[in-house]
């Protein structure tokens, strides 16, 4: 099985711009979660999508949004970029069927976003 | 609130044993996971504890004590390739696939 893929891998934007990142989960997986990773804050949960519905949300401002398509691919969008949005954005996929019980998440390589 | 604490750095030599601790505070809890991340790489799943006790997977073992809100990852027969960051993560009841991660422990293995 192919792993989780994320595009683009690297991105440079300027303050005020918006950006869209894409994540393709492992085939058959219906859950996609997004995380922001920074050196100071570690991995911070953004949101999770399952069957095209946002199932859970972290504590990020409304500038961060996402969606999921019928083929389970997911996008996240950040509008009005700020310098502090520079980070590695990781998505993780899982089957999503285990509910609250343990389910391994498989991470993609991430998109490294630099905001100038 | 929900928070996890783990040491920021640990140093050890090849062949040694190292333990990385993780304490958490939560009002609801399903289990404790451990992930490994090499520099420039993606986090990869190592182990999961839903119940108290020790889980062993090759050179790696993970332990959980729910009553103490505490867990650890034990790495034996350390190899240079084990140099990486290790994250504990908690899934809370009702959180589906929302994982709360610790800040990570950077393990440096020296010859």
Question: pLDDT grade, residue B25 (50/70/90)?
Answer: confident
The answer to whether residue B50 scores a pLDDT higher than 70 is yes
Q: What confidence score (pLDDT) does residue B94 get? A: 61
Whether the bond between B103 and the residue before it is cis, its omega within 30 degrees of 0, is: no
**Which of A6-15, B35-44, B64-73, B89-98 has the least mean pLDDT?**
B89-98
Residue A102 in contact with partner chain B when CB distance is under 8 A: yes
State mean pLDDT over B42-69. 93
- Residue A20, judged by CB atoms within 10 A of its CB (0-12, 13-18, 19+), counts as middle
The beta-carbon neighbor of B93 closest among A35, A100, A103 is A100
Q: What confidence score (pLDDT) does residue A112 get? A: 96
State mean pLDDT over A76-93. 96
User: Which residues on chain B are in Cβ contact (under 8 Å) with A29?
Assistant: none
**Which of A28-32, A42-46, B25-29 has the least mean pLDDT?**
B25-29
CA distance B40 to chain A (A): 8
The answer to whether residue A83 scores a pLDDT higher than 90 is yes
What percent of chain B has a predicted confidence (pLDDT) above 70? 93
Would you say A11 and A17 are in contact if contact means Cβ atoms under 8 Å apart?
Answer: no
| CA atoms of A33 and A10, how far apart (whole Å) | 19
- Top pLDDT among B87 and B94 is at B87
The answer to whether residue B26 scores a pLDDT higher than 60 is yes
How many other C-beta atoms can be found within 10 angstroms of the C-beta atom of residue B106?
16
State mean pLDDT over B47-63. 93
Whether A100 sits inside 8 A of B94 (CB atoms) is: yes
Q: What confidence score (pLDDT) does residue B87 get? A: 95
């Amino acid at each position: 099985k192919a792993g989780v893929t994320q595009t683009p891998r690297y991105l440079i934007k300027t303050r005020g711009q918006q950006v869209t990142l894409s994540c393709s989960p492992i085939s058959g997986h219906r859950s996609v979660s997004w995380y922001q990773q920074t050196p100071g804050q570690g991995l911070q949960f953004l949101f999770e999508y399952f069957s095209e519905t946002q199932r859970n949300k972290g504590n990020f401002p409304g500038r961060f949004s996402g969606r999921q398509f019928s083929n389970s691919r997911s996008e996240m969008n950040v509008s009005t970029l700020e310098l502090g949005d520079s980070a590695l954005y990781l998505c993780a996929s899982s089957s999503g069927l285990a509910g609250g019980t343990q389910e391994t998440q498989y991470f993609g390589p991430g998109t490294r976003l630099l905001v100038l | 609130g929900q928070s996890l604490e783990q040491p920021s750095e640990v140093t050890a030599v090849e062949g040694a044993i190292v333990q990385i601790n993780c304490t958490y505070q939560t009002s609801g809890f399903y289990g404790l996971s451990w992930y490994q991340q090499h520099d420039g790489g993606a986090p990869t799943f190592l182990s999961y504890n839903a119940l108290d006790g020790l889980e062993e997977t090759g050179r790696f073992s993970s332990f959980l004590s729910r009553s103490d809100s505490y867990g650890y990852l034990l790495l034996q027969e350390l190899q240079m390739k084990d140099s990486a960051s290790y994250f504990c993560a908690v899934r809370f009841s009702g959180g589906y696939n929302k994982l709360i991660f610790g800040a990570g422990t950077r393990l440096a293995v020296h010859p």
